Structure 1
Amino acid sequence: MTETEGENVRHRNGDAATDAYTREDMFDDTYKEKDGPKPPRIVVWKNVILMSLLHIGAIYGIFLIPSAASLTLAWSLLCFLISALGVTAGAHRLWSHRSYKATLPLKIFLATANSMAFQNDIFEWARDHRVHHKYSETDADPHNALRGFFFSHIGWLLVRKHPDVIEKGHKLELGDLKADKVVMFQRKYYKLSVLLMCFFVPMFVPWYLWGESLWIAYFIPALLRYTLVLNATWLVNSAAHMWGNRPYDVTINPRENSWVTFSAIGEGFHNYHHTFPYDYASSEYGCRLNLTTCFIDVMCYLGLAKERKRVSRETIVARIKRTGDGSVRG
């Protein structure tokens, strides 16, 4: 349950952090976008059709809510929280940023929850997220917010990746992910795990345990819940890069956005997170409006997680004075 303050190696703009967990998520200010015209956008029509059908189904699911049993709605909320934790506590804070360590049982739970979220397997999610931090708001950023809200929210999934995203992704050091047996097992059986965890389990439980209709069980705890988790995650890429204040670093785009913090269970303190990506809490406020941080703390209390990385108060205050926008943080 120890917390470690990074003090060994210089991070972006002079902040300190140990290289064990900042090697591949440090911003690379040596990257330069290529001169000349941008490559054409190639639409992936299969993704356009599938995403359109998914959202139509989710909208239909909203109209079914009054017909659903209260237990079904409670189950849908539980599935939302579990799948969201698979992204926030799992793919993001554990595997992308290595901001804390998890035992095997916790890793298995988070990998299972991540399959329920269905946002690409952990290996691919973490690789793309490290590229996002290393080349944020450039052509090498998978969901570059400078290309507009729609692109950074969902559009990046509807077109082929920019060549620089692919190139930089291939050059990352991903040995920690490749050596993680849980990550590679999930990657090997990802499609099967998604069918089971994202669709079958959310639908089967209310039908089997309290007699909910399969129709409602499919459209609410499966389809609607899945769509809500997707959009909550996407808001971190879009809204939290466009709207809000920048109390820690005014020179970068990510913002503090309370709406995103609420919907993404703690991931909306985004100016802080891009300033200190190695902090397990993704915020200086600990558990406040941050269910993911509370979850990790509980796991540490239970002995299922350890070695949470934290930024010292002195480092935070110094950074605010040096690069912040002077806004109120709270």
Structure 2
Amino acid sequence: MADVSKSKLPPPSNEPFKASIVWSNVIIFIFLHTGALYGLLIVGELQLYSFLFAMVYAFLGGLGTTAGAHRLWTHRSYRATKPLRFALMIFNSIAMQNSIYVWARDHRVHHKHTETSADPHNSRRGFFFAHMGWLLLKKHPDVAKYGKEIDLSDLENDRIVMLQNRHYVKFGLFFSLILPTVLPVALLGESAWNAYFSVGMLRYAFSLHSTWLVNSAAHMWGMRPYDVNINPRENYLVSWLAIGEGFHNYHHSFPYDYRTSEFGPSPLNITTCFIDICVWLGLASHCRRPTQEMIRRKKEKTGPPA
């Protein structure tokens, strides 16, 4: 991946900032969570195969975020063939957590300026802000200022990324809400009402919160075996919910590692299993990872005292 910074700026100001509320986003999230809560109340009415479909669909959306927007497009931790990149773009549209371009931009800023005023979801502003409040409030001026210094040329030269970015709303609404409503009705005989609220809105809200926990819980609770000087933690519950993204102290120590964990594929890191299968199928290659010696030295230098 190219150097994420085009030029050098002084450190972010970290000055107090009273953010104004983005009411349009508040209304959207109230609507979503009201629908998801109703979907939770009626989820028991779903047919078994509709419920299983929702689980698989949520998993595919998760891969679009973890294997796609995060490990492939943000960190360039491995290479993917065009068919795999296109599939991950579709999966990412299922997740509907901003376009790949916007997601990767925000995440690169987050890594470069973690827990400063330039961090879009700065956990020092509290759990709720890091979890979802950052999407409900106007961004700190430093987020935009330092975000302009991030090199996004690799994304801008990726036709698949820019296709989705141009048509993000249409892609997101179709793959995240319309298709998971239509398919259970057409293929499984599910009622449109149950499919929309449980397979559509409940599944979507669950996926959002699973990802948001990486920004909130995984920055607050857990172990710091690789670097005690930073807040990101190893949080196994988050790793389970976010299919491998909760090994966060390691990830911030070695952000280019395609595994996001020292321990590689496991039931807590299904995304790494997926990438390894894609390598075996010839769909992915050039997986980046540090040596065991580099990991050992990192623990000795910045890890907890023995």
**TM norm. shorter chain > 0.5:** yes
One-letter code of the match for 2:300?
Answer: K
Unaligned runs of 5+ in 2: none
Alignment of 1:68-87 (within 5 A): 68-87=46-65
Q: 1:223 aligns with which of 201, 204, 211?
A: 201
Matched-pair contact (CA < 8 Å) for 1:202–1:221: yes
Q: 2:244 aligns with which of 256, 266, 275?
A: 266
Q: 2:140 aligns with which of 162, 166, 169?
A: 162
Separation in 2, partners of 1:90, 1:74: 23
Q: CA RMSD in A?
A: 1.4
Confirm whether residue 321 of structure 1 aligns to residue 279 of structure 2: no
Unaligned runs of 5+ in 1: 1-19
Deviations along 1:181-201, one digit per CA (max 9) or x if unpaired, are 100011111111112100111
Aligned residues: 303
Deviations along 1:145-182, one digit per CA (max 9) or x if unpaired, are 00000000000000011110001111111110000010
Separation in 1, partners of 2:10, 2:55: 42
Deviates more, 1:37-46 or 1:302-311: 37-46
Separation in 1, partners of 2:174, 2:129: 30
Q: 1:303 aligns with which of 269, 272, 282?
A: 282
Separation in 1, partners of 2:40, 2:123: 29
Confirm whether residue 38 of structure 1 aligns to residue 38 of structure 2: no
Task: Tell me which residue corresponds to 1:173.
Answer: 151
Deviations along 1:271-312, one digit per CA (max 9) or x if unpaired, are 000000000000010112100000000000000000000110
Confirm whether residue 144 of structure 1 aligns to residue 125 of structure 2: no
Once the two structures are TM-superposed, the CA of residue 326 in structure 1 deviates from its matched residue by 4.9
Matched-pair contact (CA < 8 Å) for 2:224–2:233: yes
Q: 1:285 aligns with which of 252, 258, 263?
A: 263
Once the two structures are TM-superposed, the CA of residue 24 in structure 1 deviates from its matched residue by 1.9
Confirm whether residue 24 of structure 1 aligns to residue 40 of structure 2: no
Task: Tell me which residue corresponds to 1:99.
Answer: 77
Matched-pair contact (CA < 8 Å) for 1:245–1:325: no
Separation in 1, partners of 2:299, 2:288: 19
Q: 1:255 aligns with which of 233, 237, 240?
A: 233
Separation in 1, partners of 2:107, 2:23: 24
Separation in 1, partners of 2:198, 2:305: 43
Partner SS for 2:288: strand
Separation in 1, partners of 2:88, 2:23: 31
Separation in 1, partners of 2:12, 2:99: 28
Give the direction of change, closer, same or farther, for the CA distance of 1:60–1:326 in structure 2 (3 Å limit): farther
Q: 2:131 aligns with which of 145, 150, 153?
A: 153
One-letter code of the match for 2:156?
Answer: K
Matched-pair contact (CA < 8 Å) for 2:13–2:142: no
Dislocated runs of 4+, deviation >3 Å: none
Once the two structures are TM-superposed, the CA of residue 31 in structure 1 deviates from its matched residue by 4.5
Deviations along 1:187-223, one digit per CA (max 9) or x if unpaired, are 1111111121001111111100121000000011110
Separation in 1, partners of 2:224, 2:10: 23
Separation in 1, partners of 2:27, 2:92: 24
